[in-house]
Structure 1
Amino acid sequence: MKRLLHFLLLLLTLLLAACGTAEEPANGDSSASVEDYTVKATEAEATEGDFIYRLVSEKEEYASGGPVELYAELEYIGDLETIDIFHAASPFYFPMEEKTRSYEIHYGMEEPLITTTLTKGEPLREKYSGSGGYSDQDDDAYIEFTKNIMNKQFLEGYYVVEGYADFYTEPPENGQPNYKLQAEIDFKVVDK
């Protein structure tokens, strides 16, 4: 009788776990498919102080094997006519994750100190121009996937971009706090 009770309790636990719903498949679930995901936002923005950051995917869905069309904007909305910002090679970062494979797509950046002048009400815009990187320690499937991304040949999947703009309004040595405005968008790549 005690064994039967334990079995029923275990069965009930498994049934309850199976009936639970999740917004997206669990990471590492190799059976996850692009159809299991719903695109939530192809445009997002964040505001901090006198700056607005926008992150945009031109489409909700792209064809497999081709590029994607993403861009970021930074707009100054303060009281001055112009303002200088200080940043690495670009103030914009486009790191992303392909969720069906649980692959991170890194976004490297050269780090010289560059000054850009923003004019009030005129957004600075930059298109996504590719990303990715791997080491010889990564598995072959990840390396092959990353090589495709680096060649702007996105494979079928569900991609989430956790983009951000990172910059200062005074040279960093002056102790000025930096801005890091973040936004998240997503899109699908499907076989057509």
Structure 2
Amino acid sequence: MNIKWVFTLVFLIFILAGCGTGTQNNSNSLNYELENVTEGFVEDGHFSFKLISEKAVYQVGEPLQIKAELTYIGEEESIRISHAASPIWMLTSNLSEGYQFDAAMNEPLIFTDLKKNVPFVEQYQFSGGTYYEGAPGNPYSEDVFLQMAEGKFPPGQYEIKGKTDFAIGEDIMTERVQLETYIIFTVVE
């Protein structure tokens, strides 16, 4: 083998080895697989649904500024919808830990009149329940649940999935409207 090739090979090995020898141990450096998304939007021709976070990154204990807007954009001046506690559901997942928090229905049937182009706005409020065997996602403790219920989300990356679930008119079993979008944000210390 030519000495020139040996020297080049040894030189390349040193270069490549030098690129990977440093380690970074910075607790403020977060590497998540998903990019933060501060606005989600979907529409079906009659309704538009938007989910908005004021920020992509929050501090632990900082109030989350997240809201959902459901807007009737159809042809009538107003429309009556029927739904459970709200026509909007916001489900929380801790993507870093694999926790999923479902929401509970606290009122059986409500009627809401939506005026054309006037958003029905709902502010985010954590509404997850405690983990039970067979629930989706990884098990989590009552302490984690209580911390999140107090608005003190632990560090990590989170997804809020916004969903609508309502019917047009007063019969909940007909013409159901189910739209879905999401946002992703990060909580840091």
Where in structure 2 are there 5+ consecutive unaligned residues?
1-28
Structure 1 144/84 Cα, relative in aligned 2: closer, same or farther at 3 Å? same
Larger proportion of helix: 1
Deviation per CA, 1:24-45, whole angstroms, max 9, x where unpaired? Answer: xxxxxxxxx9422443421011
Runs of 4+ in 1 over 4 A off after TM superposition: 135-141
Q: 2: distance between equivalents of 1:185 and 1:130? A: 15
Q: What's the counterpart of residue 94 of structure 1?
A: 90
Q: 2: distance between equivalents of 1:68 and 1:131? A: 14
RMSD value, Cα: 2.2
Q: 1: distance between equivalents of 2:132 and 2:153? A: 21
Identity of aligned residues (%): 33
Q: What's the counterpart of residue 160 of structure 1?
A: 159
Deviation per CA, 1:95-144, whole angstroms, max 9, x where unpaired? Answer: 12101111112222224211111111111101012222215769995321
Q: What's the counterpart of residue 147 of structure 2?
A: 148
Deviation per CA, 1:51-98, whole angstroms, max 9, x where unpaired? Answer: 001111111000012331111111111111111111111111111210
Q: Do the aligned partners of 2:32 and 2:157 also contact (CA within 8 Å) in 1? A: no
Q: 1: distance between equivalents of 2:142 and 2:113? A: 38
Q: Secondary structure in 1 aligned to 2:179?
A: strand
Q: Secondary structure in 1 aligned to 2:75?
A: coil
Q: CA offset at residue 48 of structure 1? A: 1.6
Structure 1 158/120 Cα, relative in aligned 2: closer, same or farther at 3 Å? same
Counterpart amino acid of 2:125? Answer: S
Matches within 5 A, 1:95-134: 95-134=91-130
Q: 1: distance between equivalents of 2:104 and 2:129? A: 8
Q: Do the aligned partners of 2:81 and 2:168 also contact (CA within 8 Å) in 1? A: yes
Q: 2: distance between equivalents of 1:67 and 1:83? A: 33
Structure 1 35/46 Cα, relative in aligned 2: closer, same or farther at 3 Å? same
Q: What's the counterpart of residue 59 of structure 2?
A: 63
Q: 1: distance between equivalents of 2:128 and 2:141? A: 11
Structure 1 34/141 Cα, relative in aligned 2: closer, same or farther at 3 Å? farther
Q: What's the counterpart of residue 189 of structure 1?
A: 187
TM-score by length of 2: 0.76
Where in structure 1 are there 5+ consecutive unaligned residues?
1-32
The number of residue pairs the alignment matches comes to 158
Counterpart amino acid of 1:149? Answer: M
Which structure has the greater CA radius of gyration?
2
